[in-house]
Amino acid sequence: MRDAQLAAKVEAFRSVGWRVPGTRAGATLTGVVVPSPASRAGLDVGDVVTAVGGRPIVDACGLVAALHGLAPGSVVRLGVRPVRISSTGVLSWRPVRRVTVTTAAPPAGAASSGCAGVSGPDRSFLGVTLEDDVAYRLPATVRIDTANIGGPSAGLAMTLTLIDLLSRHSITGGHDVAATGTIAVGGAVGPVGGVAEKAVAVERAGARVFIVPRSEVRAAHSGAPGLRVFGVTTLAQALADLRALGGVAPHPLTAPRTAGG
């Protein structure tokens, strides 16, 4: 949910013309193999690695490169921002702490990282999957109440709602519009589950337009044949569909400037 909220905020501000700079800030653990050197060291999904042996790590490939040539059994000291998850699923990060990990030999058939400048098989294995940790500077603070929402499927809906609130005129043309789909920074819309059931709920709520991931159009029609369904793969397509319904292109309430400027 944190990633969905962040992507929604970034894409909403960018859609109305604001520049939202991003700075690479480490390597986020998206998966931890159990058992593995990482799990034995107490690392967890959501932790962010910021340094190896005192040298800064700014992205996932930086961590891969730092570990690539180490022999199995190497003792590595990582700088880690441990994740904290509240009882309601809100993520925050503690200050950086040192974590000592002893690497292992990689399992047979381990795939290449695909990182530029890192060739050949890794000699050491931590047992993690990674993605870049990027810190974005938003032009304003936005709080989204997701206490009763689980998972990333509300990403597209959150993004469109924020764009509408940040815009001078309605982007829906006055129509009651529902939407589902994940959202990523860059505007990609991804598939979700339960679209047929969601379509039934949309129809019962009185909306007549439902924007869904393109691969879910058939499921939406099967749940509520009377809905007007638009299938999209990007936020830009969703905004274009709304303009076709009579909505106005996003226009900011205030003149955009560089975030933080």
Q: pLDDT tens digits for 188-208?
A: 999 999 999 999 999 999 999
- The SS3 call for residue 74 is coil
Q: Residue 91 has what pLDDT?
A: 75
Q: Residue 13 has what pLDDT?
A: 95
In-domain check, residue 43: yes
| Residue 105 shares a structural domain with residue 66 | yes
Q: Residue 261 has what pLDDT?
A: 46
16 burial class (0-12, 13-18, 19+ CB within 10 angstroms)? Answer: buried
Does the bond joining 35 to the residue before it have cis omega, within 30 degrees of 0? yes
Q: Residue 88 has what pLDDT?
A: 65
In-domain check, residue 257: no
Q: Per-residue pLDDT for 168 more than 50?
A: yes
| Residue 13 shares a structural domain with residue 69 | no
Percent over 90 (pLDDT), the chain: 75
| Residue 126 shares a structural domain with residue 149 | no
Please state the pTM of the whole predicted model.
0.78
pLDDT tens per residue across span 63-92: 999 999 899 999 999 999 999 987 766 678
| Residue 211 shares a structural domain with residue 152 | yes
| Residue 81 shares a structural domain with residue 148 | no
Number of domains in the chain: 2
In-domain check, residue 49: yes
| Residue 51 shares a structural domain with residue 75 | yes
| Rg from Cα positions in the chain | 22
In-domain check, residue 259: no
| Residue 31 shares a structural domain with residue 119 | yes
For the segment 31-41, the average pLDDT, to the nearest whole number, is 97
Q: Residue 146 has what pLDDT?
A: 67
For the segment 17-36, the average pLDDT, to the nearest whole number, is 94
Give the whole-angstrom CA distance, residue 189 versus residue 181.
Answer: 6
Cα angle, residue 123 at apex, residues 121 and 125 outer, rounded to 5°: 100
Q: Residue 257 has what pLDDT?
A: 63
User: Which residues is 31 bridged to in the sheet?
Assistant: 129
pLDDT tens per residue across span 37-62: 999 999 999 999 999 999 999 999 99
User: Which residues is 80 bridged to in the sheet?
Assistant: 49, 97
| Residue 37 shares a structural domain with residue 14 | no
Nearby residues of 54 by Cβ (< 8 Å), 6 or more positions away: 77, 79
Give the whole-angstrom CA distance, residue 129 versus residue 199.
Answer: 35
Nearby residues of 155 by Cβ (< 8 Å), 6 or more positions away: 4, 7, 8, 181, 182, 183, 184, 189
| Residue 16 shares a structural domain with residue 144 | yes
Would you state the structure tokens that stand for residue 117, as one six-digit string?
């400048």
Q: Per-residue pLDDT for 116 more than 90?
A: no
- Domain span at 218: 2-20+140-244
| Residue 12 shares a structural domain with residue 44 | no
